[in-house]
A and B are shown apart, each in its own frame.
Chain A
Amino acid sequence: MTTALRITDLSKTFPVGRSLFGRPKASVKAVHPLSLTVAQGETLGIVGESGCGKSTLARMLVGLLEPTTGRIEIEGAALDTADPAVFGRRIQYVFQDPISSLNPRKTIRQIMDAPLRHLHHMPARDREARILEIFDSVNLRAEFLSRYPHEFSGGQAQRIGIARALAAEARILILDEPVSALDVSVQAQVLNLLADLRAQFGLTYLFISHDLAVVEAVSDRIAVLYFGAVVEIGPAEEVFSAPKHPYTELLAQSAPQVGRPLAAPEAKGTELPDPLKPPPGCAFANRCTRASARCRTETPRLTPLGTASQAACFHPLNV
């Protein structure tokens, strides 16, 4: 299997409280140095709660945000600028809010036209045919092209967003919570469409979501993020059914499930650590029932556990 996307030690630190010329007073590590590979045609799911750095990661991967350290390689070639136009041909992004990712004052045709014209310099006569072709593959009618974004429902708008990403002809799509703004009944339509497109065009997906069940249903592998770092990564069918990291287990137990009685895995109101004052050692130690003295002083690294999984924990479960 060939590698579609490889990221090495990618990290992002945001300065806090910068004055006009002075140095920033503090900094927040939104993403700790992080390395991942995604195989050609694979879907890698990324789950995490708010503040875990999943959106920052996604925006670095498409060049909307310059990484503080690390490198991104696509199909073996490094991308070392932060120019979205360079990224755009290799890797594309589908936004969370389908309506606000479409310019309200442009027709759908104008929106679809942009990547063909500016990324591929396609002559005008070929563009219309190409747009119709793409529209057909995402099950949208050609008559939509002359309408404006506000005339569409969330599900339709998200199809348009996907169509725009396809028009760039990138082989990797970053899907940043692509269905969380949609209703359940429409959500399934879009997820199935994404699965079809992946098979049809041989696409590689990075699927980011806070919804464990959705991620599990669409991914081959899943990476769990906590406080800016991957705490566990493994095959989709294993991550939540046999979690290795205590945080993954907590997530799996917290997800509301039909047919399982209500349980509060945590009695106290425990919360994320303060990003301005990160604790030494494991960021999850404060919430963890298995935490030892070592967890509070030393930061665990991702280590292989079992056949295909890795977890960053000194006291993993299910091994």
Chain B
Amino acid sequence: MTAFFRLLARNRLALAGGIVLSLVVLLALVTPLLPLADPDVTDTSNRFRPALSDGALLGTDHLGRDLLSRLLWGTRLSLAVGIAAALIAATIGAAIGIIAGFYGGRIDNVIMRGVDMLMAFPYILLALAIVAALGPGLLNALIAVAAVNVPFFARNIRGITVGIANTEFVQAARLAGLSNPRIILSEILPNVVPVIVIAMSTTIGWMILETAGLSFLGLGSQPPQADLGSMLGEARSALITHPHTSVVPGLMILVIVMAINLLGDGVRDALDPRLKSGALSRPMATTRVDRQSIPDHGEKSGDSLLNVRALETQFHVRGRVYRAVGGVDLHVEPGECLGIIGESGSGKSVTALSIMGLVASPPGVITGGAAYLDGEDLIGAPYRRLRDMRGRRVAYIFQDPLSTLHPLYRVGDQLIEAIRAHRPISRTEGRVRAIELLDAVRIPNPEQRISDYPHEMSGGMRQRVGIAMALANDPDIIIADEPTTALDVTVQAQVLSILDDLRRSRGLAIVFITHDFGVVAQLCDRVAVMYAGRIVEEGPMRAILSAPRHPYTARLMACVPELGGGKRRLEAIPGLPPVVDALPEGCAFADRCDRTRPDCRAGDIPLAPLAAQSVRCLHPVGTEQEHAS
């Protein structure tokens, strides 16, 4: 709760809205105590006095009544009616929505048909019909506005409730013996309340406008009692001759509703968990680069196809700095397959995405390093250059083929677009080429499948389309970011063999990112093992498989159960990987390692050559004798 108010107060606009609204509410509350003229006493000899005249700060209206007094009393009324309508609509609507969403089935069906029926009216028709039936009057206007808004709340809350009712924690509560009413109260409601509050805070202004509107039409508050709407309605006939009588109540409505809307947005932002983490910002076309210096090509790997040097990528979220990639050196030779292996949060995907500036930014920032493709630095290249290289020289394949293809375009059109982004070919030519590509990834009946939408294909077929798209412009390198993780094993085997064949027949270089040792072992020539944003070991696949040198590599390999071993106890690594916004000094693995010595926790440890590979460790596996001597 305090965190909520802190977040709210940090939002300056919401704060301003809150202050203005508090002032207005305070003024409305103390109105009966203020030394004001009676708002309903007419004095026709003093009609239409201008603002700032004696005894009438804001002037008088067409019946000579004091405008200031009427304004404050009217504000009181408008606020009360608006808030009451919002509370009534939210309570009834939420109750209906929760019941429909939670129980589902026929109850849901019947309730929601009714709601649909009410929403089939343009809302004012319903409000007018209700007022017509009940007769004009403020209370009736309130009932009408509340009733009209019930379906909106019901539908909104039902949607949220359906989502929550199907979550695993609700199922867990059932298994813990909770009854349905108890589940609604203890599991559903606490998770729905923020949504109700958000919906209320964003519609309360609307309710005030609506009741003011009905009063404006003469269907709400009846003379002599006046809310802001009826003040405006009465002033309308004198609009041209005495505009100030219209402007005063009109501005008041504007100020109140605007303050409420500002505050409401603030409340929404503070309560929405996605906004809290800053996740609702739009990633820019390229990752922001903010580096102090540019590393050179280096001696060893100067003429590699792709040469990544000292790459550092960070995520800046709410004043915290997550060092996702903390200085990575990599090189890829033509036709080579390099595997990058690591657990979640090790920085393997961020490394791969940084190369072409595809890390979501904000919050991502590349804070150091270079990525040379044939000697040209891609980090910090202007957008036009980067766009030209994307897909043409370096192509990507992503993890989940359902979410990475555009759901509303046919796969053929997406393939053709990939080609036409770089080469001006006709659509017929593009179609021919697209069919060739689908054929190359062994999709049966490519002439027909080309006009499928992604949702009409299976996961394996979709990922083949993803591969075909990466091949579209004959790139030099394909960066595959966990391309088979979302697939079943039998489909994974099919997709891996396609990738392997393509790379051999086309001389493609592949950077293959995965968490699965079995997959890298089968596909890659060389492997880099990442932990907490850095490479801890790198070298030829065979060498690392037969003699891992870094304790992390060795123990990670031991954790992976192998098929054919029968029932057994597995090796585990105790503890958890460090969080990358608070990395320890020295080796990041030291806390989980059984070879740690005091020097592991001091100073930076370089990636040093050892036998066929390079290792970032002071006491690598297999060097016990040297240390003992």
Contacts and interface: CB of A to CB of B under 8 A. Distances in A.
B565 to A, nearest CB: 6
Given A93-B175, A164-B176, A256 B519 contact: yes
A40 interface: no
Contact of A85 (B179, B489, B557): B179
A269 B559 CA distance: 32
A49 B488 CA distance: 6
A95 B522 CA distance: 32
A218 B490 contact: no
B113 A257 contact: no
B564 A115 contact: no
Contacts of A145: none
B345 to A, nearest CB: 8
Interface in B492-550: 492-494, 496-498, 500, 515-519, 521-523, 545
Interface in B249-305: none
A185 interface: yes
B172 A95 contact: yes
Interface stretch (A4-12, A125-133, A258-266, A301-309): A258-266
Nearest to A87: B175
Interface string A208-249: 001011101111100000000000000011001100000000
A253 B571 CA distance: 24
B488 A210 contact: yes
Nearest to B489: A254
B603 interface: no
A237 to B, nearest CB: 4
Contacts of B178: 85, 114, 118
Interface string A92-106: 110111001111111
Nearest to B516: A256
Given A100-B169, A271-B458, A212 B489 contact: yes
A74 B143 CA distance: 56
Contact of B561 (A161, A216, A220): A216
A237 B566 contact: yes
Nearest to B194: A105
Interface stretch (B10-18, B118-126, B572-580): B572-580
A254 B493 contact: yes
B494 A266 contact: yes
A103 B518 contact: no
A30 B352 CA distance: 39
A142 interface: no
Given A114-B173, A185-B555, A271-B460, A213 B563 contact: yes
B562 A213 contact: yes
B497 to A, nearest CB: 3
B22 interface: no
B494 A256 contact: no
Contact of B566 (A96, A216, A254, A262): A216
A88 interface: yes
Chain A interface size, as a band, is 35 or more
A161 B169 CA distance: 10
Nearest to A119: B177
Contact of B500 (A63, A155, A254, A262): A262
A97 B168 contact: yes
B308 to A, nearest CB: 24
A195 B569 contact: yes
A188 interface: yes
B490 A250 contact: yes
A153 interface: yes
A49 B175 contact: no
Contacts of B179: 85, 118
Nearest to B171: A64
A184 B169 contact: no
A266 B493 contact: yes
Interface string B460-496: 1100100000000000000000000000111111101
A255 B563 contact: yes
A63 B174 CA distance: 9
Contacts of B559: 184-185, 187-188
A168 interface: yes
A220 B568 CA distance: 10
Contacts of B493: 253-254, 256, 263-266
A44 to B, nearest CB: 12
B362 to A, nearest CB: 22
A268 interface: yes
A50 B555 CA distance: 30
B494 A264 contact: yes
Nearest to B569: A192
Interface string A43-74: 00000011000000000001110000000000
A77 interface: no
Given A184-B560, A216-B566, A164 B497 contact: no
A189 interface: yes
B567 A217 contact: yes
17 contacts: A88-B177, A93-B175, A101-B171, A114-B178, A119-B176, A119-B177, A164-B176, A183-B515, A185-B559, A188-B573, A217-B566, A254-B489, A255-B518, A256-B496, A257-B562, A258-B545, A264-B494
Interface of B: 109, 113, 167-169, 171-179, 182, 186-187, 190-191, 343-344, 442-444, 458-461, 464, 488-494, 496-498, 500, 515-519, 521-523, 545, 555-557, 559-574, 576-577
Given A188-B570, A189-B574, A256-B522, 16 more contacts: A84-B175, A100-B169, A102-B169, A102-B172, A103-B169, A168-B176, A184-B515, A191-B570, A216-B565, A219-B567, A253-B493, A254-B490, A258-B545, A263-B493, A265-B493, A268-B442
Those 5 A-B pairs whose CB atoms lie nearest each other, nearest first: A256-B518, A264-B497, A118-B177, A188-B572, A49-B488
